[in-house]
Structure 1
């Protein structure tokens, strides 16, 4: 009976660690997608407070445009639905999205149920995702081209 109890406790702890990842050293990266196609993201600077370590990491990027410099734009159609999804258990307390117009100007884009609509005009668009959790914050950029 004791062995069974020990195995159950170890199993529950293992599942809790796998699902909640209390030893995570950086914020979770969102999955950005259009339908079944995933859009590549670049992680920017962040701060994260894990159980054993807290750290802030500064990246070399100066803007969201700079963050997507090496990306090939992901092709989307006008008004396609773009989903911004974080891993289970890591939904941010605060989530903001900016569309960068140039190196110095951006505008806030409203997110509805983890989704946004692609613009209805052709062009290349840079987006900047800013997320805050109790454990810290992170930011990510992605690039799309509306056909």
Structure 2
């Protein structure tokens, strides 16, 4: 009985370890909401490091080319911006340029 309990606890610990996704080498996709409207997000150049691995990637195109042809989202300077990371670990800092 104790052996099955021990094996079960080990299985739960291993599952929890992989649930935290320490092997991720790309940042999670954020959900961006401006005044209750979800806004499409584009991944540009980024640096990301996980527990075992890191990556710095340049975007395949310039920022202007990434959004070319997509409609823009008009906002006011006093609009509320919310950034959520629901899948994976949240970054320590976010830069909006």
Fold-level similarity (TM above 0.5):
yes
Q: How do 1:29-108 and structure 2 match up within 5 A? A: 29-34=29-34, 36-50=36-50, 53-63=53-63, 65-74=64-73, 79-87=78-86, 90-98=89-97
Deviations 1:112-138 (A, max 9, x none): xxxxxxxxxxxxxxxxxxxxxxxxxxx
Q: What TM-score does the superposition give when structure 1 sets the normalisation length?
A: 0.50
1:22 aligns to 2:22 (yes or no): yes
Gaps of 5+ in 1: 99-147
Pick 1 or 2: higher relative contact order, CA cutoff 8 A, min separation 6. 2
Q: What TM-score does the superposition give when structure 2 sets the normalisation length?
A: 0.69
| Structure 2 counterpart SS, 1:43 | coil
| 2:10 paired residue number | 9
| Structure 1 counterpart SS, 2:94 | strand
Q: Which has the higher helix share?
A: 2
Q: Which has the higher strand share?
A: 1
CA displacement at 1:57 relative to structure 2: 2.8
Change in 2 beyond 3 A, CA 1:27/1:69: same
CA displacement at 1:82 relative to structure 2: 1.7
CA displacement at 1:41 relative to structure 2: 0.6
